[in-house]
Structure 1
Amino acid sequence: MDLEPDDIKAIILRMKRAHGHLASVIRMMEEGSSCETVLTQLAAVNKALSRSGYAIVATGLQQCLEAGDGLDGVDIKKMEKLFLALA
Structure 2
Amino acid sequence: MTDLTHESHPQITARLKRAHGHLAKVIAMLEDHAPCSDVAQQLFAVEKAITNAKRVLIHDHIDHCLTSEDGSAIEDFKTITKYL
* Preserved contact between residue 29 and residue 39 of structure 2 (Cα < 8 Å): yes
TM-score normalised to structure 1 length = 0.75
Q: In terms of mean alpha carbon deviation, does 25-34 or 4-13 score higher?
A: 4-13
Identity %: 35
In structure 2, how many angstroms separate the alpha carbons of the residues matched to 1:2 and 1:61? Answer: 16
Do residues 64 (structure 1) and 65 (structure 2) align?
yes
Structure 2 residue aligned with 1:19: 20
Shift of the alpha carbon at 1:57?
A: 0.7
Change (3 A) 1:2 1:60: farther
Q: 1 or 2, which has the higher helix percentage?
A: 1
Q: Give unmatched runs, 5+ long, in structure 2.
A: none
Unaligned 5+ segments in structure 1 are none
4+ runs deviating over 6 angstroms: none
Q: 1:5, CA displacement in angstroms?
A: 5.7
- TM-score, normalising length from structure 2? 0.77
- Counterpart for residue 49 of structure 1: 50
Q: Aligned letter for 2:31?
A: E
Q: Determine if contact 2:8/2:56 at 8 Å carries over to the other structure.
A: no
> Aligned-pair RMSD on alpha carbons?
2.3
